Structure 1
Amino acid sequence: MDHRSLFLKHIDPKRHIGVEVGALDRPTLSRDDVDVRYLDHLDTDGLRTKYRTHRAISADRIVDISYVWNDGTLAQVVGVGTRFDFFAASHVIEHIANPIGWLNEIHGVLKPGGRLLLFVPDKRFTFDMKRPCTRLSALVDAYFSDRRRPSFGQIYEHYTHAAKVDPSVAWRTPDMAERARILPRHGVPLALDKCRQAQAADAYVDVHCSVFTPYSFVELLRDMVAVGPELLRPFKVVDFVPTPRDDIEFFVALEAIANVAVEAFNDDIMRQIARSADYSGSFDDGGFAEMMHRDEMLRQRYDALLQNWSDSRANGRWKEISAEIMASLPGLDPTLHHEQPGAGAAVGSD
């Protein structure tokens, strides 16, 4: 697919400011196209040193990095209060140890209506062919573990299942996943060695932490919306291009919906809740704050009522938002967009 054209379909070069993640030496968006910043896990010199001997990357052509994100929150990295019109990432999300956390962090620095533009490898036509699609339980585990690097299980699975695949053959061979051979030098010995390396040196071993098909990706979004606002911040799908024939990737554009924030908390609401919690004193000169500090039972009643107030408003708003998100999800045929195709299989959106 033409990455640049699909990205620019969702970007107004005259008005929009955004970020491309993991561009290395092949940025899809150049600074001649649009006001774009580049984000990676190392600064420019660090990346050029890391990839100096890499056969597939020209270290001297690596872009000048604007933001380094390897710790802390994304909001801290770009500057608290900074908001962007777009984030663009090609073949990045599969490397992320905690995809839900990553998506939420990006949502937090997008303007309402800002877009996250993703090219995602379709595991049916890549070396991930032998791996099962990532399930929601794995994403939830990574999220609540606040995982910052691949787990030993992900490292092991990556190196024991990496297959030698010709995409054009995979498109025409229904049993390709069974027939494909493991890549040379991969397998159990290398997988265990990489796990030991990660354990002993606390090293970051880069692998595909998650694997998707177009259908499985959409179904994960559907499942996360069904869980509720406690998991994934609200994105709706505004564009989706399933994997074209003889290609290895699909495209998705997610639009950030304004967070499920409750209405602004003001003095009138605070006083109403305080009175409901049986506070009868004055609100002048810090009287309520002082009583909250001294009276543990009052504080507990107030906190419980405040939580109920917040939940009732968030739940009402979430019903509207979740319906909007669900309506945006494409209805994909698993025969075309999840199962391994055979000779003559049709492709394209349903």
Structure 2
Amino acid sequence: MNTRELIRKDLPFDRISIMEIGALNKPFIRKSETNVIYVDHADTETLRRKYAVGHGFDPSEIVDVDAVWGQNSLADCLAGRKVDYVIASHVIEHVPDLITWLKELSSILNENGEIRLVVPDKRFTFDYTRRPTEMPEVIEAHVRRARRPQLWNILDHVLNVRAVDGNAAWQGPLPLERIPNLHTFEQAFSLAESTIHTEDYHDVHCWVFTPESFANLMATMVQHDLIDLECHEFQDTQEGTIEFAVFLRRSADRPAAVASWERVAAAASRLGTPGSRDVGELHKALENATSELNAIKASRSWRITEPLRRMAKLARSVRH
């Protein structure tokens, strides 16, 4: 099932309300289908100016934004409205304060509501050489109540993102000489100064995930009562793609919610890393060969010819 099919799966369009964040020109849900609210970090005209050049699509195709979520809270942004579903594709990695963002999403869900996220997997994107996000950075951003990417977010992104071919990454480890940096050191230094001395908003990947690292972070946040979200459904990164998907629901049962994320981490880790499918195929071939050999050994012809094999073995030992 591709990402679009998964995100739209089992949505009862005739009786639900949806909030889609960051839809731009490719919303998962159209207004002609159901009651959907488009939310973004800027209004429609600002977004169309931002994406006017060099983004590979006609900016006039960007959907009309219904509500802007920036310095204000999501509850204020929606004027108290609640929704049944939240959809956000390739958004979570951009948010400055991960904990507050998830808490605010949880706060605007109706009973039994669901958050459907599509998340880039660093192993197949320009984040290839960046280390996965760890809890100290998440806590710091939350304690600071960050509304803009922090300086370390920006520097880590600009200094380390690389030109990565996702398909090539699936074949195995990529040598650094094949994946050049996308920005120079001088550009990173200039951007750092701009961050300190201006109010400019620099949009970067604040957070870096693999499916396993994401699940472990979520488990930790739930365990310490920072968020109240369990994993209802998980689709790991499919071969040839660069993203995984998680469906989240509110849960008052903290141990069960933690366990839901631990199961995701365990399932994701069993799938291994890019290129490991070759090893998996070898293991499968070995299992098949072993099964065939066992079947041969159990056969009548194998039993009949056993004396001949013993004689051949004895002859080889005599020669040596």
TM range (shorter): 0.7 to 0.9
Give the partner amino acid of 2:255: A
| C-alpha displacement of 1:57 | 3.3
User: What is the alpha-carbon distance in structure 2 between the residues aligned to residue 15 and residue 225 of structure 1?
Assistant: 30
Determine whether 1:334 maps to 2:269.
yes
When the two structures are superposed, what TM-score results if normalisation uses the length of structure 2? 0.82
Unaligned runs of 5+ in 2: 282-320
Give the partner amino acid of 2:202: V
- Specify the alignment match of 1:290 in structure 2: none
Unaligned runs of 5+ in 1: 261-320
| C-alpha displacement of 1:11 | 2.2
- Specify the alignment match of 1:143 in structure 2: 142
Say which structure, 1 or 2, has more relative contact order (CA 8 Å, 6+ apart). 1
User: What is the alpha-carbon distance in structure 2 between the residues aligned to residue 192 and residue 2 of structure 1?
Assistant: 40
Aligned pairs, how many?
278
The answer as to whether partners of 1:161 and 1:187 remain within 8 angstroms in 2 is: no
Determine whether 1:240 maps to 2:239.
no
- Specify the alignment match of 2:28 in structure 1: 28
- CA 1:239–1:343 in structure 2 vs 1: closer, same or farther (change >3 Å)? closer
The answer as to whether partners of 1:87 and 1:115 remain within 8 angstroms in 2 is: yes
- Specify the alignment match of 2:254 in structure 1: 322
The answer as to whether partners of 1:122 and 1:243 remain within 8 angstroms in 2 is: yes
- Specify the alignment match of 1:255 in structure 2: 249
User: What is the alpha-carbon distance in structure 2 between the residues aligned to residue 147 and residue 10 of structure 1?
Assistant: 35
- Specify the alignment match of 2:9 in structure 1: 9
- Identical residues among aligned pairs (%): 32
Q: Give the match's secondary structure for 2:127.
A: coil
The equivalences for 1:190-339 within 5 A come to: 190-227=187-224, 229=225, 231-232=226-227, 234-257=228-251, 321-329=253-261, 330=264, 331-334=266-269, 336-337=271-272, 339=273
- CA 1:328–1:343 in structure 2 vs 1: closer, same or farther (change >3 Å)? closer
User: What is the alpha-carbon distance in structure 2 between the residues aligned to residue 15 and residue 237 of structure 1?
Assistant: 24
The answer as to whether partners of 1:336 and 1:345 remain within 8 angstroms in 2 is: no
| C-alpha displacement of 1:145 | 0.7
Determine whether 1:111 maps to 2:110.
yes
Q: Give the match's secondary structure for 1:165.
A: coil
Give the partner amino acid of 1:99: L
The answer as to whether partners of 1:160 and 1:182 remain within 8 angstroms in 2 is: no
The answer as to whether partners of 2:130 and 2:160 remain within 8 angstroms in 1 is: yes
User: What is the alpha-carbon distance in structure 2 between the residues aligned to residue 223 and residue 86 of structure 1?
Assistant: 24
When the two structures are superposed, what TM-score results if normalisation uses the length of structure 1? 0.75
Q: Supply the RMSD in Å over aligned alpha carbons.
A: 1.9
